Structures are given as structure tokens and as C-alpha cells.
């Protein structure tokens, strides 16, 4: 018997993963960034200044500023934002490049969680998690609400770093909250802002908190927020912004964490280290994910941009020797192929990577062979993570456009779609609709 939308909201995360009516966390079901089985538009226009609107089902305003990506459970879509008390828009730099500069945006903020109807775009409820002056500064290209929510179909988890951890039901009732203290992801003497989203697996939440002064990974109970274990990452990671990835297999469940100077996997039950890889980019931002039965990790900055593909049963130090895998735990390693901010997507036989300079790279997902490397446009800046569906790969950009290429071994730009507002957030895909959050709006395209 088909599930009603009401019952779907109550499904545990394991059951939700098999259902098409959800995109429950950053990058969707199991964090892969893929949703197939339904046709999606390749071309649309959501910018009235660019001509007649086309393909827009609805467009709703989102208050404040947040790079939080939308998630979906049943007929509801959720985002979070930071709303400043002072008049005017929060400052945000859109120009190419980024200096080590904090935004002048440390006056009082309200961290809000918002719920919208997927069919109409109507705001159903909003809850203010916290109102105060931020405990840490943010980068001028970031926001005070960078993280994406996560749900198991019953709980809705929001983590704002220094501003706390909050668990709601899907109607906005606060179930519990926790203060984890100051988590100042700092570099060059300024706080760049917290960016790691919570990850839910069964009855647990994994949180990556790589404050250089006190970096740690913690796993908490979803039911009440009780801390089950915490491991220090001192000497392992000086800073990171990636979301922890939980990979389950028949023999074990592990939490994979991007980082610098070490990317590390931990046992979910105990926090004991399973494997590690040294080196890589010194600003690790992309989130690890799984495809082809393997774990994919990339990062960049500081002269290094690797892609590593790891077998789930790997153990010990997997650091490549002279750029080549030194044991069977590492399937392949690619130098100077990785992405800096955006998490790539594996779709079919290929992995697609978007970069902050507008360059798109395609590699063979099973071998690392470079297939093509092309620039979307001179204006494109890809900060949002890559998603794919219906034979198409989507690249939202800071220039206010969403670039769509045809999936496959030949670069073919299908469309450059105008949104009218910069796109930092990663889209959510539900059947034949793609939900795109811009700096000011939530837009349904279909």
C-alpha cells in the first residue's frame, strides 16, 4: 500500500533512504547528491530582469542570510538562516577570490529554522533557536548559518557551531538543545565561520568540530542529545568545514572526516581510528561520500588538490607514496584533480567536480582517468556542491546562474539558467522538482 505523506514523515532514516519523497540531509539520501527516476527541466528562467519567467513553480522569500541548503521530508522543505537585528542586508562578498577578512556582521542575530510547503512555497512555521551576538566572526563570503539541517523523518536537527545544537520535531516543537561551547574555526587570526552539518545515522548524530584550539569529533544520542563519545583531533586536524560521512557495511559502520593534515575514519561505535590519509589541501571543505562501494574524498588549497578513493574495509595509514596507492586499501589517487569548496558527485561512470574558478572537471569514477576539463563561463564560481539527476549535472554559481551539463564523457552545456540571486546552497531534488536556495529566496523549478 502506498505510504501517505503523514506516515512518510514518521519513517526511520533507513526506511526513508528507499523512498523518493525525501532529501533528508546535506546532498540528499545517503549524501550522494543524486536523485533519479523522474524527468527534470534542463532550462528555465527565474529572473524577471532576464525576461519572461519559465519553469518556476513558486518562489518564496527567505529572511536573513544563510548558506544552509534545503532538505525535504514528505511535503515539507526545511532551511535555516541568520537574521541580523540591525537594519539592512548582511554584508556578503561576491567578487572572485577571498581575502582572509572577517565580515562586519557581529551585531545581534537570530538563528531561525524555517519550514515551507513543497507544493506551494508557503511558510508553514519558523522557530528561533537563539538570539544573541555571535560568539565567533564569519568570513565575508560566509554566513552565520552555513550548515544544513538533517532529519530522520521524526527529528529535525540544527547545528550552528558555537550557537548550539537544537533538535525539533517536524512541526517545530523543540525537543532538546545542547551548548557545545565556542567552536572558532580560525585561520589567519579570524574566525572563518562554522560549516560542518550534522549527520544522522539511526539513533545517533555525528558532529565535526575542528576548532584549531580544541578539534574534536562527537557522537550524540538523537533521542536526548546525550554525548556518547568524543575523540580529540589535536594533531590530526587544524581546521575543516566538511560534514562527517557515515558509511555502513555488513561488518562495520564508520565516520569519515575530511581534514588537514589528516583525513581520518573512525569506528562509529567506539570512536577508534580505522584509517587515515596524510597531506592534501589545507582548507578541507568537501564532504566525503560513497559510490561504487567505495568512499570518495577530495579537498584543495595550498598547492594540493587530491582525490582519494578508499575501500570501506581499509585499515591503517593509506597515504599515497609518490602519488600512487601504497596498499590495496586505496583504490586510486589523483593529484591536482580535486575541488576546493564544492563536493563532487559520482553519476554513472564518472565523477564531476566544480571549482570556485568556474572550471568543471570530469574523471572516470573507477580509474581516475581525466575525461574532460572545461570552464563553464568567465563569470562562474561554483561554491555549492554538485548534484545530478535525469542525465543532467547541476552547478549553481555565485554569478546568479545554475549551469546544467549533459552527463557523459563529452562536455555539453545544456543551459545557463538565471536565478537573479547568487547561489551558495546545494539544491535539493524531489521527483521532477529541483529546489534552489539563493541568497534571498527559495525557488521550486519544475
Q: Let me know: does 78 contact 166? Beta carbons within 8 Å.
A: no
Give the C-alpha separation, 78 to 159, whole Å: 14
Query: Do the domain assignments include residue 394?
Result: yes
- Locate 443 and state its grid cell: 525557488
Domain with 215 in it: what CATH number?
2.130.10.10
CA atoms within 13 A on the CB side of 31: 27
Query: Do the domain assignments include residue 98?
Result: no
Asked whether the predicted pLDDT for residue 100 surpasses 90, the reply is no
Query: Do the domain assignments include residue 101?
Result: no
Sign of torsion over alpha carbons 233, 236, 241, 246: negative
Asked whether the predicted pLDDT for residue 13 surpasses 60, the reply is no
**Residue scoring higher pLDDT (17 or 292):** 292
CA atoms within 13 A on the CB side of 135: 16
**Residue scoring higher pLDDT (7 or 383):** 383
Q: How far is CA 93 from CA 97, 133, 135, 301, 430, in A?
A: 9, 21, 21, 19, 31
Instruction: Please name every residue paired with 435 in a beta bridge, in sequence order, or none if there are none.
Output: 428, 444
Query: Do the domain assignments include residue 95?
Result: no
- What pLDDT is stored for residue 252 in this prediction? 87
For the sheet containing 428-430, what is the strand order?
56-61, 441-445, 433-437, 428-430
Query: Do the domain assignments include residue 214?
Result: yes
- The CA-based angle 10-11-17, given to 5 degrees, is 145
In the chain, the number of structural domains is 1
184, 154, 188: which is closest to 171 by C-alpha?
154
**Distance, CA of 406 to chain centre:** 22
- With a CB cutoff of 8 Å and minimum separation 6, the contacts of 158 are 80, 111, 113, 129, 147, 149, 165, 166, 167, 168, 198
Q: Tell me which residue range forms the domain holding 240.
A: 5-88+107-445
Asked whether the predicted pLDDT for residue 213 surpasses 90, the reply is yes
Asked whether the predicted pLDDT for residue 214 surpasses 90, the reply is yes
φ and ψ of 236, to 5 deg:
-105, -45
Structure confidence by residue, pLDDT tens digits, 267-317: 999 999 999 999 999 999 999 999 999 999 999 999 999 999 999 999 999
Give the C-alpha separation, 157 to 334, whole Å: 35
- What pLDDT is stored for residue 158 in this prediction? 98
Q: Let me know: does 430 contact 437? Beta carbons within 8 Å.
A: no
Report the residue count for the chain. 446
Query: Do the domain assignments include residue 368?
Result: yes
Structure confidence by residue, pLDDT tens digits, 26-38: 999 999 999 999 9
Give the C-alpha separation, 114 to 126, whole Å: 4
- Locate 422 and state its grid cell: 547568487
Query: Do the domain assignments include residue 33?
Result: yes
- Locate 30 and state its grid cell: 545517503
pTM (predicted TM-score):
0.94
- Locate 236 and state its grid cell: 590530526
Give the C-alpha separation, 216 to 139, whole Å: 22
The whole-chain average pLDDT of the chain stands at: 94
**Residue scoring higher pLDDT (7 or 430):** 430
Query: Do the domain assignments include residue 426?
Result: yes
pLDDT class for 20, splitting at 50, 70, 90?
Answer: low
- Locate 151 and state its grid cell: 532529519
The residue with cell 561488518 is 251
Share of residues in the chain with pLDDT > 90 (%): 91
Give the C-alpha separation, 255 to 433, whole Å: 31
Amino acid at each position: 500500500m502506498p505510504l501517505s505523506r503523514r506516515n512518510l514523515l514518521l519513517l526511520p532514516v533507513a526506511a526513508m533512504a528507499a523512498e523518493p519523497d525525501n532529501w533528508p540531509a546535506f546532498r540528499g539520501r545517503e549524501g550522494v547528491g543524486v536523485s533519479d527516476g523522474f524527468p527534470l527541466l534542463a532550462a528555465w528562467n527565474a529572473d524577471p530582469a532576464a525576461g519572461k519567467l519559465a519553469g518556476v513553480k513558486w518562489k518564496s522569500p527567505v529572511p536573513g542570510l544563510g548558506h544552509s541548503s534545503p532538505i525535504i521530508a514528505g511535503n515539507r522543505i526545511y532551511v535555516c538562516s541568520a537574521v541580523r537585528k540591525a537594519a539592512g542586508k548582511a554584508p556578503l562578498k561576491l567578487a572572485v577570490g577571498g581575502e582572509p577578512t572577517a565580515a562586519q556582521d557581529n551585531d545581534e542575530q537570530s538563528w531561525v529554522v524555517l519550514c515551507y510547503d513543497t507544493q506551494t512555497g508557503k511558510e508553514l512555521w519558523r522557530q528561533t533557536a537563539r538570539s544573541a551576538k555571535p560568539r565567533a566572526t564569519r568570513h565575508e563570503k560566509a554566513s552565520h548559518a552555513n550548515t544544513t539541517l538533517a532529519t530522520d523523518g521524526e527529528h529535525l536537527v540544527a547545528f550552528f557551531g558555537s550557537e548550539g545544537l537544537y533538535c525539533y520535531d517536524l512541526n517545530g516543537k523543540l525537543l532538546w538543545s545542547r551548548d557545545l561551547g565556542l567552536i572558532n574555526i580560525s585561520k589567519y587570526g579570524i574566525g572563518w565561520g562554522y560549516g560542518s552539518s550534522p549527520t544522522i545515522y539511526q539513533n545517533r548524530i555525528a558532529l565535526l568540530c575542528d576548532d584549531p584550539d580544541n578539534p574534536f569529533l562527537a557522537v550524540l544520542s538523537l533521542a536526548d542529545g546525550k554525548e556518547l563519545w568524543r575523540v580529540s583531533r589535536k594533531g590530526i586536524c587544524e581546521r575543516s568545514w566538511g560534514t562527517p560521512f557515515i558509511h555502513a557495511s555488513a561488518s562495520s559502520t564508520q565516520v569519515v572526516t575530511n581534514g588537514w593534515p589528516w583525513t581520518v575514519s573512525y569506528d562509529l561505535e567506539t570512536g577508534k581510528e580505522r584509517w587515515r590519509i596524510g597531506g592534501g589541501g589545507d582548507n578541507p571543505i568537501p564532504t566525503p561520500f560513497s559510490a561504487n562501494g567505495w568512499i570518495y574524498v577530495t579537498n584543495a588549497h595550498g598547492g594540493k588538490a587530491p582525490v582519494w578513493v578508499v575501500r570501506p574495509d581499509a585499515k591503517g595509514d593509506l597515504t599515497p607514496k609518490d602519488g600512487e596507492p601504497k596498499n590495496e586499501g586505496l583504490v586510486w589517487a589523483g593529484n591536482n584533480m580535486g575541488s576546493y569548496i564544492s563536493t563532487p558527485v559520482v553519476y554513472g561512470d564518472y565523477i564531476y567536480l566544480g571549482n570556485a574558478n568556474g572550471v568543471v572537471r570530469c574523471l572516470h569514477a573507477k580509474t581516475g582517468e581525466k575525461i574532460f576539463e572545461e570552464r563553464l563561463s568567465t563569470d562562474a564560481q561554483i561554491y555549492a556542491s554538485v548534484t545530478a539527476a535525469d542525465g543532467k549535472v547541476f552547478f549553481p554559481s555565485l554569478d546568479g546562474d545554475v549551469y546544467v551539463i549533459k552527463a557523459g564523457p563529452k562536455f555539453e552545456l545544456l543551459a545557463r539558467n538565471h536565478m537573479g540571486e547568487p547561489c551558495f546552497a546545494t539544491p535539493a531534488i524531489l521527483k521532477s522538482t529541483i529546489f534552489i536556495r539563493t541568497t534571498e529566496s527559495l525557488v521550486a523549478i519544475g
